[in-house]
Amino acid sequence: MTISADQLSQRLMMEQGWQLVADLDEEPRLPDENERWERFETEEDPLKQDEILGELVSRQTDLFNEMPPIGGPFPDLATMIESSEFVPTFVIAVPSLRQLKPYCSRLLIKLRMGAIHVALLCEQDPPWEISPALLTDIGVEVRQRVMSDLDDEPESQDGEAATISRQQQKAIDRTTFVFEIMVMGEGVNVERNRSALNALKQGGVRKPRVAIQGYLLEGGAKSVWSTNGMTGWRRRRYLRYALQKGAESVTQIGNTIASSRPSVGLVAASVLVALLLNAGFKGLVIAFEGLPAVLWLLGDLVIPSAVIITACSLRHLNLHAATHAKWFQIGYLGVFAALFLALVWPPSYDYVSYLGIVGVVTSTINIAGGQLMEVD
């Protein structure tokens, strides 16, 4: 038995923050939205301001979630909303993406730092008639619209949007747009389908920065094939997990998320591995005389970050990646500093400065990396 587009959608939405795309030409507005914003701006009491804003956000969320998504009514949307601890918006209007409606069962979108991802969920067959040129044009159009909206560009006096600045346009152009075409079903991992997805494959490194990736989710074998080879192993790992857990209900997914806890064992093992790798690397630097001294610093900066990011990547869900990174950094720096100072005691100013640089740089990289992974 294979996973359906709706089952995969609900898992992507609850576990990874994807949103359904609405089947609408434009985003609807509340009848009294302008009036409520005027009340919010003229109200002097901060508590009443918070009350007005909270009610407005809640009503807007309800309005968004009542929009019809591409693919028809979503069967478990109401249950997902009721089981959430906060008021989520699971449906978003992106009119340009409606052009992809004929090619998929479900269409989802996810905004990330520096990237916009769109998932086309197809059952049994790839979208045979779609072309890289069409996807590229849609990607450029959606990226321009979404990123401009996020910039919250003020309006000119005649009511039209002000011209986007050169800096804002550069930020829009640097944002990568990624299409993820996911074909699921029994017997989908065949040469014909692999060739079709490989024909659509696109890197997205150069302008117009639109990438196209393809996935085949083989239901019976619970296996995943993708066009992006080694670079797509984390996504394939998650999709295999989704195939294995495909029969779970929204309530079961919610219970798994609620009962999930940070892993002390993962952090302890990561600290030990990082220390051993760093010690081994330093041994190599010492053994091979004549190597540049900067390699010593490079090892102290790169090894701990590589270890904790890899360790978090091995988990099916990234719910506690930020916590794991923080705990790892505390444990690793504590042991590293103790060993370092024991070897050079009493430390000179240069040694203390070196230790401070390593601590600040690795903490910044690891904690930021953990936070980014948590919303990946």
Report the pLDDT value the prediction gives residue 28, as an integer from 0 to 100.
84
Both tokens of 30, joined, read: 């509340």
DSSP code for 53: H
Residue 291, helix vs strand vs coil: coil
Q: What is the CA radius of gyration of the chain?
A: 24
- The whole-model pTM stands at 0.83
Report the pLDDT value the prediction gives residue 232, as an integer from 0 to 100.
83
Are 307 and 273 in contact by the 8 Å Cβ rule? The answer is yes
Report the pLDDT value the prediction gives residue 73, as an integer from 0 to 100.
93
Q: How many whole angstroms separate alpha carbon 212 and alpha carbon 161? A: 31
Q: How many whole angstroms separate alpha carbon 186 and alpha carbon 340? A: 56
Find the farthest-apart pair of alpha carbons in the chain and give their distance in angstroms, rounded: 74
Which parts of the chain sit beneath pLDDT 50?
Answer: 152-162
- Going through the chain in order, the beta strands assigned E by DSSP cover 19-21, 91-92, 106-112, 115-123, 176-185, 210-218, 223-226
Are 172 and 164 in contact by the 8 Å Cβ rule? The answer is yes
Report the pLDDT value the prediction gives residue 157, as an integer from 0 to 100.
38
DSSP H/E element including 255: helix 250-259
Report the pLDDT value the prediction gives residue 215, as an integer from 0 to 100.
96
Report the pLDDT value the prediction gives residue 48, as an integer from 0 to 100.
87
Report the pLDDT value the prediction gives residue 165, as an integer from 0 to 100.
61
Is the bond into 208 cis (omega within 30 degrees of 0)? yes
Size of the chain in residues: 376
> What is the dihedral angle through the alpha carbons of 105, 177, 237, 192, rounded to the nearest 10 degrees?
60
> What is the dihedral angle through the alpha carbons of 78, 80, 85, 88, rounded to the nearest 10 degrees?
-80
Both tokens of 314, joined, read: 């091995």
Nearest-10 crossing angle of helices 250-259, 5-16: 20
DSSP code for 4: P
Summarize pLDDT for 92-127 with one digit per residue, the tens: 999 999 999 999 999 999 988 788 999 999 998 999
Report the pLDDT value the prediction gives residue 156, as an integer from 0 to 100.
40
Query: Which strands make up the sheet holding 176-185, listed edge to edge?
Result: 91-92, 19-21, 106-112, 115-123, 176-185, 210-218, 223-226
Report the pLDDT value the prediction gives residue 153, as an integer from 0 to 100.
45
